Amino acid sequence: MSEKMNYTLEDVIEEDMIEALQNGDFKVYFQPKINMLTSHIYGAEALSRWVHKNRGIIPPDSYIPMFEQNGFITMLDRYVFQKVCEYKQKWKGKSYEHLMISVNMSRANLYVKGLIDSLVRMCQEYDVPTDEIEIEITENMFVKDSGELISFVSKLKKSGFHVSIDDFGSGYSSLNMLKDVDADVVKIDKNFLDIGEDDLKGRRIIRSIIGMCKELKFDVIAEGVETNNQIKFILECGCENAQGFYYSKPIPIEQFEEFADKYSAILNEAVRFHFMNDLQSEDGKYQCAYRGEGFTFEEGPVKGTHAIHFPGGKMETNMVKIPENVLFSESYTVMFWAKPDELKSWTSIIYVKYEVGFFSFSPLTTDGICTYRIRDSKDVHGWYDCEGKQLRENEWFHVAFSYSAKEEASTLYINGKKADKQNNVPVIRYPKRILLGGDVFKESYKGSVSELYIYYNVKNEEEIYNIYNSYLD
């Protein structure tokens, strides 16, 4: 009997775990994943909490290692997975219905026969698409079971699940693993963020790791983001996604649903300029500035739209400067209507100077074509042109172009139809100057521009066609 009095937490845990699972004493908490550029939620990680009948909330670090040893973890992981399916089913019709939810899978699961099939069946049972669930596998596991894991991951992928490599950089797996593993996301371990402001090498390491992961076309998320300075730095490194106390701790379901509802709507998917006698964006957040004179406002291409008219002029005159931060994302879609009064070869309607390079759109370049050009100045051969039929004088055209950093592709659309696509177009970073109505090489643009929209994501052909078409209704 006296033995019982001296039970350690571990003994208690082992004794109570099965009963606790049956009683529903394990709760699933959610920690939001946030796009730092827009502050919207795009997913969450499900984390277990044991609400013990006598001891209150026991944190995972106190029971996970033991469950991993005694094998109980496979039951817990399965339970968490099922709970996630259950919640997701209840979310049908809510703004956060489709959020990607990630679930941790410990190593013991590797040896559970028919595991993946049974996860798929569970998804079917709750009517949850497998591609809205992400399986997190910690990098440490790749040290020992690299071969098995790589095939485990590809099976998960074949079943539609997303897969992330968790705690990346905390273990000793070989970097070559990244080459072989078919994962979608790399989660940068939170210990990396634990560095001083003047730890230059530490900062370079993070920057390089993020760069490498992006080079390999993984989505990257930084874990353990707690401060404003960390956000600034991680963004500078090219990583947009974060999970951390700065945004939210792991929270119980009711609280999470509130959070998700509040932040799931992408309120400002685009910065929109309507040129209704002013140079302000629709949301009032961005104000452009005149550089020159002779501008007027007029009617746009269709009833109810407005346009700004540029008088033309010598190089670097009579343009409008747009704040650089409208282009805060490496991937973007830019669209506008344009009606040139006269066409001069290589005059730009819009021009963006980057730290090393630029992009521009010219309504007429060589005979009979218009060009959306990306210039990467790091490379002497770095010219990437999407071409379409030239615009005509005194006629309105809808112009749209997009750049996808993930695909490394640029695409041009004229009047809602795809004109050209270029592949293997490298990312150029850090916009320094955005000019409307001209550039720094050629005479300025004479003509009108209406309905300038700058999206921070890539619109596909159908979406662009629909947007174009919505003007014609």
**Nearest-approach distance from CB 242 to Ca ion, in angstroms:** 12
**Nearest-approach distance from CB 136 to ligand C2E, in angstroms:** 6
**Nearest-approach distance from CB 78 to ligand C2E, in angstroms:** 10
43 binds ligand C2E (CB under 6 A): no
CA distance 209 to 215: 10
**Nearest-approach distance from CB 58 to Ca ion, in angstroms:** 18
**Nearest-approach distance from CB 198 to ligand C2E, in angstroms:** 22
Question: According to CB under 6 A, which one of 35, 38, 106, 362 is a site residue for ligand C2E?
Answer: 106
Stretch that binds ligand C2E, among 195-203, 224-232, 364-372, 400-408 (CB under 6 A): 224-232
Count of residues making up the chain: 473
Is residue 307 a contact partner of residue 277, using CB atoms and an 8 Å limit? no
Among ligand C2E, Ca ion, none, what does residue 61 contact (CB within 5–8 Å per kind)?
ligand C2E
By beta-carbon proximity to ligand C2E, the closer residue of 245 and 430 is 245
**Nearest-approach distance from CB 64 to ligand C2E, in angstroms:** 5
Strands 185-188 and 219-223: parallel
| Binding to ligand C2E, residues 140-169 (CB under 6 A) | 166-167
**Nearest-approach distance from CB 151 to ligand C2E, in angstroms:** 20
Binding site for Ca ion (CB under 5 A): 104, 136, 166-167, 223
Question: According to CB under 6 A, which one of 97, 226, 324, 341 is a site residue for ligand C2E?
Answer: 226
Is residue 64 a contact partner of residue 72, using CB atoms and an 8 Å limit? no
By beta-carbon proximity to ligand C2E, the closer residue of 254 and 293 is 254
Stretch that binds ligand C2E, among 117-125, 244-252, 405-413, 457-465 (CB under 6 A): 244-252
* Cα Rg, the chain, nearest whole Å: 27
Residues 53-72: x where in contact with ligand C2E by CB under 6 A, - otherwise, as a string:
------xxx--x--------
Question: According to CB under 6 A, which one of 43, 224, 301, 363 is a site residue for ligand C2E?
Answer: 224
**Nearest-approach distance from CB 428 to ligand C2E, in angstroms:** 32
| Binding to ligand C2E, residues 343-382 (CB under 6 A) | none
Number of chain positions touching ligand C2E (CB under 6 A): 23
Would you state the structure tokens that stand for residue 160, as one six-digit string? Answer: 């539609």
**Nearest-approach distance from CB 184 to ligand C2E, in angstroms:** 16
Among Ca ion, ligand C2E, none, what does residue 141 contact (CB within 5–8 Å per kind)?
none
Among ligand C2E, Ca ion, none, what does residue 106 contact (CB within 5–8 Å per kind)?
ligand C2E
By beta-carbon proximity to ligand C2E, the closer residue of 137 and 452 is 137
By beta-carbon proximity to ligand C2E, the closer residue of 59 and 71 is 59
184 binds ligand C2E (CB under 6 A): no
- Cα–Cα nearest to 136, from 248, 47, 61, 75: 47
Question: According to CB under 6 A, which one of 35, 38, 104, 241 is a site residue for ligand C2E?
Answer: 104
By beta-carbon proximity to ligand C2E, the closer residue of 74 and 365 is 74
Residues binding ligand C2E (CB under 6 A): 31, 47-48, 59-61, 64, 73, 76-77, 80, 104, 106, 166-167, 190, 224-226, 243-245, 250
